[in-house]
Amino acid sequence: MSTSNNLYFDLHTTGLGYLGRAREVKPKAGQRFTPFWAVSISAFHGPRDAISYVFFDVKATGAESEKVIQEFEDVINDKEHKVLAGFNIGDMYPDEPYEKDGKLRVTLKGRLLRIMWVKVDGKTVYSAPQPSDTEGAKDDDQTPAAVSADQQEASSESDKVDQAHSETTSGPINGNAYSHSPVTDGQGLPGSYSVNIQMPSES
């Protein structure tokens, strides 16, 4: 195999989740890296009537995802609001496990490749620009073009999630405050947008 054509396996996850802890990460004394923007995501997972959460802490990759985090930083960090988003994450890996409320938890790290849309308290405040037929998906997003259409459908379906949330609870995510409302009537999140991780099969 040519060294100029090395094989690389992408690992992408597409889903819905609440955003929290938006911040710019800057190097401290003795550290050397380019500042970047990061955000935490409480991603929906599981059956509609018993949703659980998978926790991500991701670095915004690409100008568009970084711009969205910056623009909505204040509302994302405001505990009085629920910020729901459709997202695409790549190259995930587990962070160090930690114990919380007597349970062992793990937060997944990764790169936030794209935010398809954002809703604040059920109202759409951002929709990602769609690539043209000739351009396809942008290189800095590194996202399959088909994802955009799927996420548009997920955005409309997320209205059901907002309507089904009748009770708000709060608690920590990796030591940070968050709020969410459990689905109680079995309506809402389409099963196709649960968080799924696919690895290449071994021969």
CATH number at residue 45: 2.40.50.140
- Is the whole-model pTM more than 0.85? no
Structural domain boundaries, residue 79? 7-175
Average pLDDT over every residue of 163-172: 42
Q: Which helix (H) or strand (E) holds 113?
A: strand 108-120
Query: Residue 201: inside a domain, yes or no?
Result: no
Query: Residue 187: inside a domain, yes or no?
Result: no
Answer whether residue 139 shows pLDDT above 60: no
**Closest C-alpha among 115, 138, 113 to residue 125:** 115
Question: What region does 174 belong to: left with phi over 0, alpha with psi -120 to 50, or beta?
Answer: left
Please give the tally of structural domains in the chain: 1
Q: Using one digit for the tens of pLDDT, what is the confidence trace for 34-85?
A: 999 999 999 999 998 899 999 999 999 988 999 999 999 999 999 999 999 9
Query: Residue 190: inside a domain, yes or no?
Result: no
The CA dihedral of 66, 196, 139, 70, to the nearest 10 degrees, is -10
pLDDT tier at 203, thresholds 50, 70, 90: very low
Q: Is 198 exposed, middle or buried (0-12, 13-18, 19+ CB in 10 A)?
A: exposed
